[in-house]
Amino acid sequence: MSVMCFICKKIFANQSSHNRHVREVHKIYPKPSSYGEGSRWCNCCLEENCGNTFKNRKQLICHLEENHSIQFEKYYSVKASVNEFKNWKNDIEKVNDCYYVLKSKAASTIGEVLYYNCNRSKTSYSTKDEAQMKRLQKCQGSCKMTHSCTSSIKVTSENGKYHIEWQKTHYGHDFEQKHIRLPKPERHCIASKLISGVTTQRILESTRDKIGDPLKRIDLLTAKDIRNIKSSFNIESRDGKKHPNDAFSVDLWVQECMSGEENPILLYKPQGQDHSLLANNDFCIILMNKFQRQMIQSFPNIIAVDSTHGLNGYDFEMTSIMVIDEFHHGFPIAEMFSNRKDIVIQNIFFTSVRESAGIYIYIYIYLNVVFHGWRNVKKY
């Protein structure tokens, strides 16, 4: 059934298109419809002597601003990549002691739209009574409320950019550490320690030794949290057991290194990730720590390159750059593990080392592939 705009007489195919036209073109916003207590809507006004409920958060926020003079803060931003958005999300969750869960996603003409809600918001399904519950409730109670929180994040991907609309203000709950989940970076850090062989007791002790003010969620780490992390990352219960997926173990270790103060990773390209010079199924990781960087800066005169193959069943080759120290001993200053053995990968290796060390160096070459790779780097 067609609908005519009462202002410009334009015809629309349905009521929703007409309503959107009135809002966006004529800037007329109808007053939100409110419902009394006992309705099925969970967007509730909790102010004294009110008790109205609304169909969506926008109507609830409009009601709270107009009738109860509550101020709501919005934040807009644009991120260049999905990783930049995830880092921003992790930062705001850590600073504001909150957590956002992906509620839904939708496709639009400009790109994908993601909707994140505060994890304290009521779920779409009804809460069971204690008599109906099959499992015992947690001692701190459920993190879910009987109503919705107003805070949410809307992310729209458009032309490779991620446009963020963040409703920052929370409503209807306090910030309680017991209802906040462990942030993903800290979960990855704990998982990498477990894979490296650190015991559960040692992780708990080191965490409690670093308790500060204000209190953070990681300060309340329990043995149950660590058991959940073991289950999530498929880590064997026996301490020290490696993850059955070697690629995942390496990825966890790299993430731990990158989050530390002294990051030894010069380049990390896992299989399945795009790279401008490498194929999709290529693997490459280049390592150089702070002490190795100091060694190449102190002894740049004589440098050698060596490669070792057959280290494991993946046919990866380890290439090392070595210097001669004051005792005339060879000392490795950088290592690269890769499935590639050509000029391209050697060029990437030498370029990464040169940019990290910040000096021009002379090298002793014994392989033709290494020679051409080094010659390409020395041109610049």
Averages of pLDDT over runs of 10 residues in the chain (380 residues) are 80 84 81 55 82 83 88 92 90 87 84 89 66 68 80 90 92 79 84 81 84 77 87 64 64 81 89 88 92 87 76 77 85 90 87 82 49 53
**140 vs 129: CA distance, rounded Å:** 16
Instruction: State the pLDDT at residue 221.
Output: 86
Instruction: State the pLDDT at residue 327.
Output: 82
Backbone angles phi, psi at 66, to 5 degrees: -80, -35
Instruction: State the pLDDT at residue 244.
Output: 56
Instruction: State the pLDDT at residue 268.
Output: 93
Instruction: State the pLDDT at residue 241.
Output: 42
pTM, whole model, 2 decimals?
A: 0.54
Instruction: State the pLDDT at residue 163.
Output: 93
Backbone region of residue 123 per phi and psi (left: phi > 0; alpha: psi in -120 to 50; beta: other values): beta
DSSP state of 139: T
Sheet holding 317-324, edge to edge: 265-269, 284-287, 330-338, 317-324, 303-308
Cβ atoms 36, 53 nearer than 8 A:
yes
DSSP-based three-state secondary structure for 278: coil
Instruction: State the pLDDT at residue 224.
Output: 86
